[in-house]
Amino acid sequence: MKTSHIYSLILALCLTFSGLAYAQAGQEAIDNYPNRSVTIINPFSPGGSSDIQARIISEALQRNMGQAFNVISKKGGAGAVAMLAAKNAKPDGYTMILTCLGPCSLTPNRANVGYNTPKDFRAIARISLFPFAVAVLADSGIENFNQLLEYAQRNPNTTFGTCGAGLMQHVLFSDFLSRQPDASMQHIPFNGGAEATSALLGGHVAATVQTASEYLPHYKSGTLRLLAITGDERSPVYPDVPTFKELGYETITGGTWFGFAVPKDTPEGIILKLQNAIKDALNDSEVQSRFEKAAIPARFLSGPELDVIISSEYKSFGKILKSSD
Q: Is residue 251 part of a domain?
A: no
Q: What is the pLDDT of residue 176?
A: 86
If asked whether residues 176 and 159 sit together in one domain, one would say: yes
Q: What is the pLDDT of residue 248?
A: 92
Q: What is the pLDDT of residue 290?
A: 97
Q: Is residue 273 part of a domain?
A: yes
Q: What is the pLDDT of residue 317?
A: 86
Q: How far apart are CA 56 and CA 54, in angstroms?
A: 6
Q: Is residue 167 part of a domain?
A: yes
Q: What is the pLDDT of residue 3?
A: 65
If asked whether residues 101 and 153 sit together in one domain, one would say: no
Q: How far apart are CA 226 and CA 228, in angstroms?
A: 6
If asked whether residues 140 and 219 sit together in one domain, one would say: yes
Q: How far apart are CA 180 and CA 196, in angstroms?
A: 24
If asked whether residues 263 and 125 sit together in one domain, one would say: yes
Q: List all residues 6 or more positions away from 19 whose beta carbon is below 8 Å from its beta carbon.
A: none
If asked whether residues 147 and 224 sit together in one domain, one would say: yes
* DSSP letter string, 147-203: HHHHHHHH-TT-EEEESSTTSHHHHHHHHHHHT-TT---EEEE-SSHHHHHHHHHTT
Count of structural domains, the chain: 2
Q: Is residue 217 part of a domain?
A: yes
If asked whether residues 125 and 264 sit together in one domain, one would say: yes
**CATH code: domain of residue 310:** 3.40.190.150
Q: For residue 174, how far is the Cα from the chain centroid? A: 20
Amino acid found at 208: T
Q: What is the pLDDT of residue 19?
A: 64
If asked whether residues 160 and 92 sit together in one domain, one would say: no
Q: Which long-range CB contacts under 8 A does 180-184 form with residues at least 24 apart?
A: 180/149, 182/149, 182/153, 183/149, 183/150, 183/152, 183/153, 184/152, 184/156, 184/158
If asked whether residues 76 and 213 sit together in one domain, one would say: no
Q: Is residue 181 part of a domain?
A: yes
Q: Which long-range CB contacts under 8 A does 54-57 form with residues at least 24 apart?
A: 54/98, 56/287, 56/290, 56/291, 56/294, 56/296, 57/98, 57/127, 57/260, 57/278, 57/281, 57/287
Q: What is the pLDDT of residue 298?
A: 96
If asked whether residues 111 and 137 sit together in one domain, one would say: no
- Structural domain span for residue 156: 131-229
Per-residue pLDDT of the chain (325 residues; tens, 9 = 90+): 456 667 776 766 666 666 665 555 567 879 899 999 999 999 999 999 999 999 999 999 999 999 999 999 999 999 999 999 999 999 999 999 999 999 999 999 989 999 999 999 999 999 999 999 999 999 999 999 999 999 999 998 999 999 888 888 888 888 888 888 788 899 999 988 899 999 999 999 999 999 999 999 999 999 999 999 998 889 999 999 999 999 998 878 788 999 999 999 999 999 999 999 999 999 999 999 999 999 999 999 999 999 999 999 999 888 877 765 5
If asked whether residues 216 and 282 sit together in one domain, one would say: no
Q: Is residue 98 part of a domain?
A: yes
Q: Is residue 47 part of a domain?
A: yes
Among left, alpha and beta (phi > 0; psi -120 to 50; other), residue 111 is: beta
